[in-house]
Structure 1
Amino acid sequence: MNTDDLIARLAANAKPVKPVVAGRRAMLWLAFAIALLTAVVLWHGLRPDLPLRLDLPAEQIQWLASVATGVLAAIAAARLAEPGRPTAWALLPVPAMVVWVAGMGWGCLADFARMGADALVLGTSWSCLGFIFGVGTPLLAVLLYLLKDGASLRPGRVSAMAGLAAAALCSAGLSLFHHLDAALMILVWHGMAVALVCCVGAVTGRLALAR
């Protein structure tokens, strides 16, 4: 077959390619994730001290920053899954994440000023780790499934952003019904759980999307 015949045959059988609309799918995932976490929070019941905690500006900023991190990470994952988008989209959730972590760090200092050395006593909270990992991992899988059409172009970055989105929203939801004694425990256990979900996304997501 000569080149002209090959081109003619390919052109005759060509089908239109649907553009990747990852942004819509990310919005759909955010609606699903927020609805799921809202149901879980209502099922567990809000913390008795939640109104008092949210009266503190530092607590408000910390919680809003965790939600913003999750939302912006989901948007970043969607943009990175679209062909031709710059990799700089991976930086989108970084400012919110810095505020989130800084807020927890400020809470540690405030607890130390109020409680003294007792604030540095680090207990265990496997329930924190279990909730964020147990709920965050399925949410991560759902987001990767919705973005799979384009996510294979940058599997590592998309998966890491998807993991951060799921874990950050789970952390925000958990803080509404689960009480920890000190900000240091929140920083360690929430941070450990978020990092674990991000690592699972970056590793297993890369392998799954590559296939």
Structure 2
Amino acid sequence: METNDFINLLAQDAPVRSRIGRTLALAAGVGILISGAMFFAGIGFRDDIATAIQTNRFLFKFVFTIALAATAFSLVYRIGRPGVPLKLWGWALVAAPLLLAAAVFTEMAVMPADSWSARMVGHNARFCLTFIPLLSIGPLACFLFALRQGAPERPGIAGAVAGLAASGIAATFYASNCTDDSPLFVALWYPIAIALVTLVGYIAGSKLLRW
């Protein structure tokens, strides 16, 4: 049997689609619980969160991270099913970067230029690059396990998208601890941490999701 024929047969297998859908939904829930447990056991909310939550800069971090997590998971939910169109959902991934770019533009428009560098460097870069990958471990492992129940046509890409979704979950938790609220900081350090997790996801997916 040709590979394309086999993929088409799998794509027509409704029970398989249903099973992996439930498995991925469960993986997301368990991954969030693991990441949350690690977050509260390790660092928890920032001390001034009651005040911070009243500021737009603090709240925007969650707009970005939740948009990333949601759009990436929407793609993960479909990428394990052979033959399912992915192009539209792939384009949805640009929503989070576009939101962040708009926030950076707004920040630069309202803040003096001599403050940009300090806001970008911030005070918590090391913690950002440490805790986002650490908090991503549980969700990424759950997504990879769930995707093994499916048949992703491109294992490496599937793993990378799983890494994006996992890092979006992790970044959402971490954002509530991070005291650097400037979009300039978020635009520099969060993507580096997210890229690290995405790379790990790609490598792991290439090895674990082959079929």
Moved more, 162-171 or 199-208: 199-208
Residue identity in the other structure for 1:180: D
Residue identity in the other structure for 1:82: R
- The 1-side partners of 2:73 and 2:29 are apart by 11
- The 2-side partners of 1:197 and 1:147 are apart by 17
5 Å-filtered alignment, 1:44-55, equals: 44-55=43-54
Specify whether residues 17 and 184 from structure 1 end up closer, same or farther in structure 2 by C-alpha distance, changes over 3 A only.
closer
Matched-pair contact (CA < 8 Å) for 1:112–1:119: no
Could you state the TM-score of these two structures normalised by the residue count of structure 2?
A: 0.76
Residue identity in the other structure for 2:192: M
Deviations 1:20-48 (A, max 9, x none): 33322222122122223333443333212
The residue number in structure 2 matching 1:113 is 112
- The 1-side partners of 2:97 and 2:30 are apart by 22
The residue number in structure 2 matching 1:141 is 141
Give the drift of 1:191.
1.3
Give the drift of 1:130.
1.4
Q: What's the C-alpha RMSD, in Å, of the aligned pairs?
A: 2.9
Could you state the TM-score of these two structures normalised by the residue count of structure 1?
A: 0.76
Give the drift of 1:144.
1.1
- The 1-side partners of 2:120 and 2:139 are apart by 32
Specify whether residues 111 and 35 from structure 1 end up closer, same or farther in structure 2 by C-alpha distance, changes over 3 A only.
farther
The residue number in structure 2 matching 1:30 is 28
The alignment-based identity, stated in percent, is 26
Greater RCO, CA 8 A, separation 6+ = 2
Residue identity in the other structure for 1:158: A
5 Å-filtered alignment, 1:15-164, equals: 18-21=15-18, 22-43=20-41, 44-88=43-87, 89-103=89-103, 105-106=104-105, 108-109=107-108, 112-113=111-112, 116=115, 119-120=118-119, 122=121, 125-164=125-164
**Structure 1 stretches of at least 4 aligned residues deviating more than 4 Å after TM superposition:** none
Are 1:194 and 2:194 an aligned pair?
Answer: yes
Give the drift of 1:17.
8.8
Specify whether residues 25 and 91 from structure 1 end up closer, same or farther in structure 2 by C-alpha distance, changes over 3 A only.
farther
Specify whether residues 62 and 122 from structure 1 end up closer, same or farther in structure 2 by C-alpha distance, changes over 3 A only.
closer
Residue identity in the other structure for 1:131: F
Give the drift of 1:74.
1.4
- The 1-side partners of 2:127 and 2:140 are apart by 19
- The 1-side partners of 2:138 and 2:157 are apart by 18
Matched-pair contact (CA < 8 Å) for 1:66–1:100: no
- The 2-side partners of 1:111 and 1:118 are apart by 14
Residue identity in the other structure for 1:134: L
Structure number, greater radius of gyration: 1
Specify whether residues 68 and 122 from structure 1 end up closer, same or farther in structure 2 by C-alpha distance, changes over 3 A only.
closer
Give the drift of 1:59.
3.3
Specify whether residues 118 and 132 from structure 1 end up closer, same or farther in structure 2 by C-alpha distance, changes over 3 A only.
closer
Residue identity in the other structure for 1:32: V
Moved more, 163-172 or 151-160: 151-160
Residue identity in the other structure for 1:137: I
- The 2-side partners of 1:28 and 1:98 are apart by 29
Matched-pair contact (CA < 8 Å) for 2:39–2:135: no
Name structure 2 gaps, 5 residues minimum. Answer: 1-12
Residue identity in the other structure for 2:157: R
- The 2-side partners of 1:66 and 1:121 are apart by 18
Are 1:208 and 2:197 an aligned pair?
Answer: no
* Aligned length in residues: 195
